[in-house]
Amino acid sequence: MNLRTGLVIFLVLALATAAVYYYGFVAPEPEAAKVQAPEDKDAPEVLIKGLSMSSWTDGEKVWEMEVERMELPRFGRNTVLYDITDGTIFRDKGPYLGFSAGMAKVDGRNRMEFSGGVVVDSEGKTLMAAESMSWDPATQKVTVPGEAKITADGSTVLAKNLIVDLNDEYIYTTGEIIAQQGDNIRITAGNMKYSVTRREMEIIGPSKIVIDL
């Protein structure tokens, strides 16, 4: 073997060894490149399915609810709850109001914005239905920015811009209301103040009552 032949054999072996090393150890496997999923920027950081939640203050339960799904988003601080059922607000160590909603966003101060068909009930009977509602446990105020339907004592009240003060047990509205008592009495007015405990409605400003005899 002359020098030239030996040099060629050496180069071929060196290239073959380098190729084996590259494809065997350095180059990524074709299957692995295919399996890697693209990053889902909308995916929550934490997802919890099926849970019971409750809140306590000074040893007393304030509220509880069943939640189908809870998401802690990757960005932002609002926790999102889906399919809320069997919600209960407690007062004097007993159930006070029940609630359910399609969705709720909870901010860092535990304020909740409910949406997707909110229903508030009292003693098993629907008290209020609205498309959206916010609840601040600190101030004990419920705000309904859109239209709400309140049902109590055989009366139905359709109202807009409604605030429920759970401390004073008053319902305030600043938009026009239409109240129907049974089939015979209709009241249209604005600026209503309704006492839940006294079952009394006060309207400041113009009002109209129509009674079918």
Partner 1 sequence: MSRTLIRLMSVAMLAAIVLAAGTVSAAKQVTITATRKLNYQGAKGDAMVEGNVRIEYGSTIINAEKVLFNSDTKTAKVDGGVRIAQDNIVITADKMDADFKNDKVKVSGNVKLELTETLTEMDEAGKPKKDVVVLLTSSMEIDINTNDFKATGGVTITKNKQKVQAGEAAYVDAEKKMTLITGVMIETEDGDTVKSEKAVVYTDKEAFEAEGEKIEINFTV
Contacting residues toward partner 1, per CB under 8 A: 152-155, 179, 181, 184-185, 187, 189, 198-213
The minimum distance between CB 167 and partner 1, in angstroms, equals: 22
The minimum distance between CB 98 and partner 1, in angstroms, equals: 22
The minimum distance between CB 191 and partner 1, in angstroms, equals: 10
Q: Which is nearer to partner 1, 101 or 189 (CB)?
A: 189
The minimum distance between CB 205 and partner 1, in angstroms, equals: 7
Place of tokens 């295919």: 34
Q: Which two three-digit tokens encode residue 180?
A: 């129907």
Q: Which is nearer to partner 1, 58 or 183 (CB)?
A: 183
Q: Which two three-digit tokens encode residue 1?
A: 């073997």
Q: Which contiguous run of DSSP H or E holds residue 7?
A: helix 3-21
Would you give the distance in Å from CA 88 to the centre of its chain?
15
Would you give the distance in Å from CA 57 to the centre of its chain?
22
Q: Which is nearer to partner 1, 1 or 213 (CB)?
A: 213
Q: Phi first, then psi: give them for residue 175, nearest 5 degrees.
A: -95, 180
Q: Which is nearer to partner 1, 119 or 152 (CB)?
A: 152
Q: Which contiguous run of DSSP H or E holds residue 33?
A: helix 30-35
Q: Which is nearer to partner 1, 53 or 196 (CB)?
A: 196
The minimum distance between CB 154 and partner 1, in angstroms, equals: 7
Residue of 205, 161, 199, 160 whose CA lies nearest to 181: 199
